[in-house]
Amino acid sequence: MKELLERYPATSEFMLDMLHDLQDAEPKNYLKPEALQAVAEYLSVPLSEVVSTATFYTMYSLKPRGKHVIRLCESPPCQLVGAESLLEILAKHLAVKVGETTADGVFELETASCLGVCGVAPAMMIDAELYGNLTEARIVDVIEDVRRRDATS
Ligand code: FES
């Protein structure tokens, strides 16, 4: 943890990057209490400041999640072209509700506001990768591709 933090100068402008790195380093994709504490100590800021930053941004989680986080956009442009039914398909395929982890721990299903790629709506992200022009036929293939890549890596 210390090594990750020491990649950055000890100033608050790097807090988001530090939180990203610490979350990415955790197999369950979340910020443990000790990670938040370490950031507070490294930056010499109150723990409450780190916690309020980590809870403000939806990309951070304070609870364990699946290895891969799916964020399906639910803003109006994506809704207008079928995001709602895609969410139903994902939830059914993965046997989870939004905010839950699949039984095998591989996926977390989340929704997000506009991902900034409305031109290819409906869209989702899996971890840092964007997928657009999703269709009911394609969305399950995308998920299964990630699962296959994971199994062979
Ligand atoms: S509204 Fe979905 S990407 Fe912009």
Q: What is the pLDDT of residues 5-23, one digit of tens each?
A: 999 999 999 999 999 999 9
For residues 123 and 73, state if they share a domain. yes
Question: DSSP letter at 67?
Answer: S
Domain count, the chain: 2
Q: Is residue 63 part of a domain?
A: no
Please give the distance, rounded to the nearest whole angstrom, from the Cα atom of residue 57 to the centre of ligand 1: 18
- Would residue 45 count as lying in a domain? yes
137 with 107, same domain: the answer is yes
In tens, the pLDDT along 34-87 reads 999 999 999 999 999 999 999 999 889 999 999 999 999 999 999 999 999 999
Q: What's the 3-state SS for 96-121?
A: CCCCCECCCCCEEEEEECCCCCHHHC
For residue 55, CA distances in Å to 52, 62, 99, 112, 138 come to 5, 8, 15, 15, 33
The closest of 117, 115, 77, 84 to 98, measured between CA atoms, is 84
Structure confidence at residue 31 (pLDDT): 97
Per-residue pLDDT tens over the stretch 98-152: 999 999 999 999 999 999 999 999 999 999 899 999 999 899 999 999 999 988 8
- Ligand 1-lining residues (CB < 6 angstroms): 73, 75, 77-78, 114-115, 117-118, 121, 123
pLDDT band at 153 (very low <50, low <70, confident <90, very high): confident
Q: Residue 1: its pLDDT value, please?
A: 84
Domain that residue 118 falls in: 68-152
Ligand 1 binding pocket mutation candidate from 114, 120, 125, 130 (most atoms within 8 A of CB): 114
Q: How confident is the model at residue 2 (pLDDT cuts 50, 70, 90)?
A: confident
Q: What pLDDT sits at residue 85?
A: 96
Residue 49 pLDDT: 97
Which atom of ligand 1 is nearest to 74's Cα?
Answer: 2
Residue 143 alpha carbon to ligand 1 centre in Å: 19
CATH number of the domain at 129, please: 3.40.30.10
> Does residue 128 lie within any of the structural domains?
yes
Q: Which of 38, 12, 13 is nearest to 25 (CA)?
A: 38
Label residue 64 exposed, middle or buried (CB < 10 Å: 0-12, 13-18, 19+): middle
**Residue 132 Cα: closest atom of ligand 1:** 3
End-to-end CA distance of the chain: 24
